[in-house]
Amino acid sequence: MTEDSSGLIFLTENGNQSFNDTPVVVCCCCATAGDQCPTHVAQVSFYVDVLELYYVPILILVGFVGNLLTCLVLMTTHLKMRSSSYYLSALAVADTGYLLSLLVEYYSSHHTTNPYHTEASCEMRIYFAYVFSFLSVWLTVAFTVERFIAVQYPLKRPSICTISRAKSITAALVVTSVLLYLYVFWVVGVVNGTCDLKPLDTNFYEVINYIDTIVTLVIPVILIVGMNSMISRTIFRFRKMVQTNTLDPCDRVRLCDTSSQSSNKFKGQERESVELMTPTKITVFKNHVMQTSNSHIHIKTTSKYAMSVRIQQNINKMLLVVSYTFVLLNLPSYVIRLFYFFDDILDRTVDKQMKLYINCAQKIAMLLYYTNFSINFLLYTMCGETFRICLKNTLCNLFYKLIGVTSRI
């Protein structure tokens, strides 16, 4: 049994196997296993190891910088008035925490110094990897649920999707993750000089794996894919109605509360003016005011409506891309994880050589998994028009402040 830096427990075979009189090792992508693999498998292992050697540190650096800028933009600009910004900021913090754990793992695997020389350091690293991974998953689910409510029930959005509610849900997820993975301190420790699982009952680890897979993959993927499908369908129907001018005007007015306020303002002005006029002038003036008022309301409503629709579509597009990217980057590692769950079935139905390739594919899948913790800033920048504008303003302000401090020195 081994544990990789994602905090996921894998059930693997111990020792060496052989086929066609060629010695092999199950985990052929490990740095020391290449010589024991068949030639063609060793070549694949070599390229994967080289990719990991350079890709992971670049990923960690990009993730640290990107997540820092994400928090800075979301929490210091007008975007902090949106409840979704608090989910995304918390997600950036969780991703950074996981990348820090990955950095420690990467350093220990490529240097002689082992940071896991004590039980405490080993347990804490694995524990926080679990916690941050859980938070990354369920914060993605949280802002997907919020976007689902905003699209499917727009009239309830102001009362449900609030900043205070976002803070409460984020805090609840943090508490849940902290308590949920306390068992790590009982199952992980220093074994034969390495940070590994303690020799407990195999069935116990299988149960943990099944539960963790359901909690961090099955349920989140079902929720994300299901809600995003409904969101996409609603957005497509809405856009089609707008393009064909078949959208109910009442729906447009409901999107802009300021329109009703403008209407009430003009009605009040109309009543005050009419009271000072003769009956003949009242009729003429009332018709003029009603036409002017309705025209003004229509223009203002249309303007506010167009702006509101553009903002909401921009948010929807960005968060849809983030959600689907999360699923695509996480799915390969969990699919391979299922292969390890059914290890006995694999021994009977899958060729040994194919199983070696599966083990190599595991390492590639884990690189995709790690990418999920670094890529969100790039997705926000590419898909979020408002985010790009705020990012530009934030960087310009930082630059001007830096110039000002430098000139004083």
More confident residue, 405 or 358: 358
Using CA atoms, how far residue 274 sits from 35, 201, 266, 286, in Å, is: 96, 87, 12, 7
In this prediction, residues 143-148 reach a mean pLDDT of: 92
In this prediction, residues 64-72 reach a mean pLDDT of: 95
Q: What is the pLDDT of residue 223?
A: 93
pLDDT at 327 over 50: yes
Least confident of 64-78, 152-166, 168-182: 152-166
| Residue indicated by tokens 């918390």 | 90
pLDDT at 99 over 50: yes
pLDDT at 191 over 90: no
pLDDT at 284 over 70: no
Reference 256, options 158, 163, 164; nearest CA is: 158
Q: What is the pLDDT of residue 350?
A: 61
Separation of alpha carbons 236 and 239, rounded Å: 5
Percent of the chain with pLDDT over 70: 66
Just give the CATH number of 2-243+327-404: 1.20.1070.10
pLDDT at 229 over 60: yes
Least confident of 168-177, 206-215, 242-251, 360-369: 242-251
Average pLDDT over the chain, rounded to whole?
Answer: 75
- 373 pLDDT band, cuts 50/70/90, is very high
Q: What is the pLDDT of residue 280?
A: 42
Q: What is the pLDDT of residue 383?
A: 86
Compute the CA torsion angle 207, 209, 213, 216 (nearest 10 deg). Answer: 110
Tokens, residue 130 = 């679990």
Q: What is the pLDDT of residue 192?
A: 76
Q: What is the pLDDT of residue 232?
A: 85
Among 65-74, 304-313, 377-386, 394-403, which range has the highest average pLDDT?
Answer: 65-74
What is 32-67 written as a DSSP string? TTGGGS-HHHHHHHHHHHHHHHHHHHHHHHHHHHHH
- 270 pLDDT band, cuts 50/70/90, is very low
More confident residue, 175 or 348: 175
Least confident of 54-58, 138-142, 211-215, 309-313: 309-313
Least confident of 107-111, 129-133, 144-148: 107-111
Q: What is the pLDDT of residue 398?
A: 86
pLDDT at 347 over 60: no
pLDDT at 97 over 60: yes
| Residue indicated by tokens 């060629």 | 22
Q: Which residues of 333-344 are buried (b: 16+ CB within 10 A; e: fewer)?
A: bbebbebbeeee
Tell me the domain boundaries of the chain: 2-243+327-404
